Amino acid sequence: MKLYSLICDKFKLDGGACFGVVPKSIWQKQYPPDENNMIDIVTRSMLIETDDRKILIDTGMGRKQDEKYFSYFYLSDKYNLEESLSAIGFKPEDITDVIFTHLHFDHCGGAVKHNADKTSLELTFKNAIYWCSTAQWEWATKPNAREKASYFKDNFMPVYESGKLQFINEEKELYKDIYLKIVNGHTDGQMLPMIKYKDKTIVYMADFIAALGNIPIPYIPSFDTRPLISMKEKEDFLNEAVSNNYILFFEHDIYNECCTLQKIEKRISHKEIFLLKDI
């Protein structure tokens, strides 16, 4: 097995929204905001290469929406998923599987793109099977008022209509050494891939713990639909992660890619910070 880290997007989000009720005077020390209170964010996908499969976790925003929409996020043109794949020697048609942690626009948008003359939509990864939890699918196709703005049907309905979308009903091992854990505080049915690699367990954190700065229990983003559930899920997970020496892989932290954890008295915090390639 080989693992690769891929940057799909670089953009900005409101810093207050990213850290919820935590005061700006605290979080700005790690994530300095600009004059509009926006902080730098990335979407970081992972590619898992095995003997017979090339499995991509999340696909970033894609580029289907118009310039006005992307301007709200200060989207940089420095990165995109297909170029990041090409840089490590892969093409979209090489991908055998795409795991959607969930269907918010910045996690699945890159799975569908415009065709060459922009007259229709097509799948970016034409040879892939796509995986999504049943709970998240139901949530996305009948969105609540809080999340509605994060779900665009053109990001996932073409996948469904292609017949290539498969549903996960419960936590399970998808393939050897790749287990899908399900959490529900951020959004219903968010899947966290847990990868066994070199005698270690690497957890793709998605929006469960989006960045190193979100590790403390109360640091719950305003985006979470059920913050009290998020806090309980996080507390349980962090204790499990310390006990089993998990490595956390952050999807959205522009400064920190991976870390281990340690418990100091009653508090759990990061221990070592490093890159995926250094494992």
pLDDT computed for residue 266 by the predictor: 85
pLDDT computed for residue 232 by the predictor: 97
pLDDT computed for residue 211 by the predictor: 98
pLDDT computed for residue 116 by the predictor: 84
HSE at residue 27, side-chain half, CA atoms within 13 A, is 26
pLDDT computed for residue 78 by the predictor: 87
Query: Residue 235 corresponds to which tokens in the numbers above?
Result: 């507390």
| Regions in the chain scoring below 50 on pLDDT | none
HSE at residue 210, side-chain half, CA atoms within 13 A, is 25
CATH annotation of 2-278: 3.60.15.10
By C-alpha distance, which of 211, 210, 174 is closest to 194?
A: 174
Question: pTM, whole model, 2 decimals?
Answer: 0.96
Tell me 80's DSSP state: -
pLDDT computed for residue 67 by the predictor: 87
| 214 touches 125 (CB < 8 A) | no
